[in-house]
Chain A
Amino acid sequence: MRRDLEAKFGPVVILLATFATIFLLLPVIFVVLHSFSPTRYFQWPPTEFTLKWHQDFYTSTMFMEAARNSLVMALIVTPLSLVIGVPASYALVRGTFPGKALIQQVILSPLIIPGVVTGVSLLSLYSAGGLRIGMFGLCLGMLIFALPFAVRAISANLIGIDPRVEEAARSLGAGPLRTFFVVVVPQLKSGVLAASVFIFVEAVDNFSIAVFLSNDQTRVLPVAAYQYIKDFDDPTVAAMATALIVLSVVLVMLLEKLIGFQKSLRL
Chain B
Amino acid sequence: MKKMQSSSLRLEQLNKTYDTFQAVTDVNLDIPGGSILTLLGPSGCGKTTILRMIAGFSNVTSGRILVDGTDISGIEPNFRDIGMVFQNYALFPHMTVAKNVAFGLQMRGVSRSEQATAVADALVMVKLSHLADRYPSQLSGGQQQRVALARALIIKPKLLLLDEPLGALDRHLREGLQMELRNLQRELGITTVLVTHDQEEALYLADHLAVMNKGRVEQLDNPLSLYDRPRTEFVARFLGVPNIFDAVVLDSGATGTTISLRGHAITLDRKLGLATGAACKVSVRPSHVELVAADDPRPGLAANVVIGRELGERTAYHLESGGLMIEANASRMRSVERFAEGSAVKLVFDPVHTVVLEA
Contacts and interface: CB of A to CB of B under 8 A. Distances in A.
**A contacting B, Cβ–Cβ less than 8 Å:** yes
Interface stretch (B88-96, B244-252, B297-305, B307-315): B88-96
Interface in B63-88: 76-84, 86-88
Interface stretch (B20-28, B103-111, B167-175, B265-273): B103-111
A95 interface: no
Give the bracket for the number of chain B residues in contact with chain A.
Answer: 20 to 34
B84 A168 contact: yes
A172 B107 contact: yes
Contacts of B90: 162, 164-165, 167-168
Contacts of B86: 164, 167-168
Contact of A173 (B91, B93, B94, B108): B108
Given A164-B87, A167-B55, A168-B84, A174 B78 contact: yes
Contacts of A187: 93-94
Contacts of A169: 92, 103, 107
Contacts of B104: 172-173
Interface of A: 162, 164-165, 167-175, 178, 183, 186-187, 189
A97 to B, nearest CB: 15
Contacts of B88: 162, 164
B204 interface: no
Nearest to A187: B94
Nearest to B86: A164
Given A168-B148, A171-B56, A173-B78, 5 more contacts: A169-B103, A170-B76, A170-B78, A172-B103, A183-B92
B51 to A, nearest CB: 11
A183 B104 CA distance: 13
Nearest to B82: A171
Contacts of A170: 56-57, 76-78
Kindly name the residue among B103, B148, B155 whose own CB sees the greatest number of chain A CB atoms within 10 A: B103
Kindly name the residue among B80, B107, B151 whose own CB sees the greatest number of chain A CB atoms within 10 A: B107
Contacts of A178: 107
Contacts of B148: 168
Nearest to A178: B107
Contact of B84 (A171, A174, A183): A171
Nearest to A183: B92
Contact of A167 (B57, B79, B107): B57
A234 B84 CA distance: 68
B54 to A, nearest CB: 10
20 contacts: A164-B87, A164-B90, A165-B90, A165-B92, A165-B93, A167-B86, A168-B84, A170-B78, A171-B56, A171-B77, A171-B80, A171-B84, A172-B103, A172-B104, A172-B155, A173-B104, A173-B108, A174-B107, A183-B92, A189-B94
B82 A186 contact: no
Nearest to B84: A171
A174 B77 CA distance: 9
Nearest to A189: B94
B107 A165 contact: no
A167 B80 CA distance: 12
Nearest to A166: B90
